[in-house]
Structure 1
Amino acid sequence: MNSPGPHPRVDGAAWAPPLILGPSLGTSLAVWEPQVPALARHHRVIRWDLPGHGSAPASLIPAAGATIADLGRLVLNLADYLSIDRFAYAGISLGGAIGSWLAVHHPERVGSLALVCSSAHFGEPRAWHERAALVRKEGTEQLATSAAGRWFTPGFTGGAALVEDQRAADPGAYTACCDALAAFDLRADLHRITAPTLVIAGREDRATPLAHARELADGIPGAALTEIAGAAHLAGVEQPEHVTAALLGHLPGSTGATVRRAVLGDAHVDRATDRTTRFTAPFQDFITRYAWGEIWTRPGLDRRTRSCVTLTALVAGGHHEELAMHVRAALRNGLTPDEIGEVLLQTAVYCGVPAANAAFAVADRTLREEEN
């Protein structure tokens, strides 16, 4: 069996269910670094570089006439090389397009799919051909200079290493990937995707705006959509906890304990675990299996919606200590403070003004604590 190119980066136990992560154009496999520690607790995480990016040779992709299918076959070759028959797949932007192609044309290989800031069609081909022509003529320096503005919201200061990945990308391979994106249009085939699918979108993403994510979610049967506030195109870098929580809730093999930690945070769960006694242990086991393993993992509602429902129920019941905990959880699930305020205003009508008044006091105190 021939190696598919450079050795992939693999994290997690060899016996764990495989999860292949696809990068975005202009970055390296490091774009997934914020998610790897949490994902590798429950999966065999396999990352790879696009041709001419990171450590991957440019020769892996045709210099002319490259397609998403060419890149998809690299993923299949990689899986075969690692003796992986069926895998979960998550991809960012171009990496997501590759995952969509795999799910349409090789459904027997893809057990679960997550598309992060991606699209079924990345705009008019002309723009990609113009970008390719620019890189052929001048290299990647100009793109590196403007990368932060394309990838992140104004004011975000992280991601410098990824900008350097853009600068170091092989111009020929980069333009081949541009050609592949120019020719890509999977809109008519989205209905053929049968893998359970999560679409994740950055609300301030200008490269693949929310309309692209909604088109994916509407076109793929049963797909769920999670919108990440305060994030642009590389949402997993800018809002890593929110993206990680969404992925953990979607991927197979995520247990109730995993989801509980993703939503409430390690610090809270660790404190609860430390306080567990022989008397309270059965209840802790029950709540982890039932609430977090059965309800919060169901595919019918995304986590943002579940947070809205939970906040409302806690206000109605007057459970203020739990309310503070779930205000923090709502932030982790992607709600903004303004959206939490809207939920509480709604409770004033249906739960009563005194209940909402107390809830606003709890939420205001909690949000102030989170700011500090």
Structure 2
Amino acid sequence: MTDPLLNHRAEGPGTAPALLLGPSLGTSYALWDAVAPELSVDHRVVRWDLPGHGGSPAGLVHPGQTVGELAALVLALADALGIERFAYAGVSLGGAVGLHLAVHHPERLSSLAVICSSAHFNGSKPWQERAELVRREGLAPVAATADARWFTPGFTVPRLVADHRAADPEAYAACCDALAAFDIRDRLESIAVPTLLIAGREDPATPPAHLREIADAVPGAALVEIPGASHLAPAQCPEAVLTALRAHFSGGARRGMEVRREVLGDEHVDRAQARQTPFTALFQDFISRYAWGEIWTDPTLARRERSMITLTALVAHGHYDELAMHVRAALRGGLTPEEIGAVLLQTAVYCGVPAANSAFAVAQRVLAEEETADGTAGSG
């Protein structure tokens, strides 16, 4: 007889890349109701319930449970579904499971998103106390404060609160034991899978500082803070979470950086990266993820056409420093000096002669510099 599996729901094409979604303590996979259907357009989405939550058997956990044991249950589910490698996103305890998988089973993960979670959950004492309370009095006292812990004032999701009340007390307490024992801070630097951290700016349980701590330690990790979101961000701000997850799991930031280098050149991007500070990091990530990872990778227009449009827009708004950069990019992309001149001549008609005059001066300087550097005005 095979061991029981975590209760789960699968959505999306069976041949699409797999994406597993993990829940927060006290919730079911309904936490993902507003996000999973959209993600399932291009992923095989599998969302699962914690033991004793939703439809998962309570007997899958025991007092003294660890996050590692919960992660093993997730791997057993993936194995049963024939999923060898998968992307993973998890909220709170579900996020801790993702961190454990990234540290101990990196070969199974293609990418990771950790949402409203932590590498340590403020130590063991509060979780031990909550586990004792639930074992003694059941879930009613804890469920009564769910809205305050999960959402901003005035917001609620009745289905999730009802799931909290219906969870098995012993299984819930065992999950508290797992949170009490969890501290993976000393292993974060070993995480090598592409990692996104999503913080709810109004989250009292795992404030943005907890996610920032992970982002600072995991090489190459990105951090997104969602204004107005508390602890259950996928339920409260699903569109913002969906946008971030789509960009991450489609490889937007990584592909965006590749395209940025292809169009602008390594030298320029390296200079921009070297000037990056904590203050500008989110903006740089935004540029790589959206401008280069989504707009410039859209196959509807060729890069030559995008260069022409970009040159025109920069002239129209008088962004001449950016224009110089994109004249060089246009040369790299195969536009000739004559074609660049034709674009600028057209801007004289539609953007104004003074704007075009300044643009020709910038372009002439860049073309002369490129000719001096490379021997040919059109090479790059």
1:93 equivalent in structure 2: 92
The equivalent residue for 2:217 is: 219
Q: Contact (CA 8 Å) 1:16, 1:44: kept in 2 or not? A: yes
Between the aligned partners of 2:26 and 2:89, the Cα distance in structure 1 is 17
Q: Secondary structure at the match of 1:134?
A: helix
Cross-structure match for 1:273? none
Matches within 5 A, 1:121-136: 121-136=120-135
The equivalences for 1:193-204 within 5 A come to 193-204=191-202
The match for 2:341 is none
1:34, CA displacement in angstroms? 0.8
1:171 aligns with 2:169: yes
Give 1:65 shift: 1.5
Which of 225, 233, 238 is 2:236 aligned to? Answer: 238
> Partners of 1:166 and 1:318 in 2: how far apart?
56
- Residue 304 of structure 1 deviates from its aligned partner by 8.8
Deviation, 1:306, is 2.9
Structure 2: runs of 5+ lacking an equivalent? 274-280, 292-310, 318-380
CA 1:317–1:61 in structure 2 vs 1: closer, same or farther (change >3 Å)?
farther
- Where does residue 268 of structure 1 map in the other structure? none
Measured against aligned partners, the alpha-carbon deviations of 1:145-196 in whole angstroms (never above 9, x if no partner) come to 110000011122x311101111011000000000110000000000111110
CA contact (8 A) 2:6 2:51 kept: no
Matches within 5 A, 1:351-370: none
What is the letter of the counterpart of residue 52 of structure 2?
A: G
What letter is aligned with 1:11? E
Decide whether aligned partners of structure 1 residues 112 and 303 sit closer, same or farther in structure 2, where only a CA change above 3 A counts.
farther
Task: State the match for 2:299 in structure 1.
Answer: none
Q: Report deviation, 1:252.
A: 3.4
Q: Give, in whole Å, the separation in 2 of the partners of 1:304 and 1:152.
A: 30
State the match for 1:346 in structure 2.
Answer: none
* 1:2 shift after superposition: 2.9
8 Å Cα contact 2:8/2:29 also seen in 1: no
Q: Which runs of 5+ in 1 are unaligned?
A: 260-289, 320-372
> Structure 1 residues 184 and 7 mapped into 2: Cα distance closer, same or farther (>3 Å)?
closer
Separation (CA, whole Å) in 2 of partners of 1:304 and 1:134: 46
Q: Which has the larger radius of gyration?
A: 2
1:281-317 C-alpha deviation (Å, 9 max, x unpaired): xxxxxxxxx89xx99xx9x86579637998xx99976
**Does the CA-based 8 Å contact 1:42-1:253 persist in structure 2?**
no
Paired position in structure 2 for 1:185:
183
Structure 1 contact 91–99 (Cα < 8 Å) conserved? yes
- Say what the alpha-carbon RMSD is for the aligned residues: 3.1
Contact 1:3 1:78 in 2 (8 A): no
- 1:317 to 1:232, Cα distance in 2 relative to 1, 3 A: farther
1:207 aligned to which of 200, 205, 208: 205
Write the distance in 1 (CA, Å) between the matches of 2:208 and 2:251. Answer: 28
Percent identical among aligned pairs is 55
Task: Tell me the alpha carbon deviations over residues 120-159 of structure 1, each in whole angstroms, 9 at most, x when there is no partner.
Answer: 0001211101101110111111111110000011122x31
CA contact (8 A) 1:104 1:192 kept: yes
Q: Distance in 2 between matches of 1:304 and 1:71?
A: 36
Shift of 1:36: 1.1
| C-alpha contact (below 8 Å) 1:199/1:224 kept by paired residues | yes
Q: Map Cα deviations across residues 311-341 of structure 1 (whole Å, 9 max, x no partner).
A: xx9997666xxxxxxxxxxxxxxxxxxxxxx
C-alpha separation in 1, matches of 2:252 and 2:237:
20
SS at match of 1:213: helix
**Residue 16 of structure 1 corresponds to which residue in structure 2?**
16
CA change 1:154–1:18 in 2 (3 A) is: same
Q: How is 1:22-61 mapped onto 2 (pairs within 5 angstroms)? A: 22-61=22-61
TM-aligned CA distance change 1:160 to 1:87, over 3 Å: same
Task: Report the Cα distance in structure 1 between the residues aligned to 2:128 and 2:312, rounded to whole angstroms.
Answer: 53
Measured in 1, the distance between the counterparts of 2:95 and 2:11 equals 20
One-letter code aligned to 1:239: C
Residues 1:303 and 1:130: Cα distance change in structure 2 (over 3 Å): same
> Retained in 2: the 8 A contact 1:246–1:303?
no
* Residue 294 (structure 2) pairs with residue 306 (structure 1): no
Calculate the TM-score normalised by the size of structure 2.
0.68
CA distance in 2, matches of 1:186, 1:206: 21
CA distance in 2, matches of 1:314, 1:138: 68
Q: Which amino acid aligns with 1:98?
A: V
- What secondary structure sits across from 1:108 in the alignment? helix
- TM-score computed with the length of structure 1 as normaliser: 0.69
- Aligned AA for 2:154? G
Match of 2:119 in 1: 120
**Matching residue of 2:277:** none
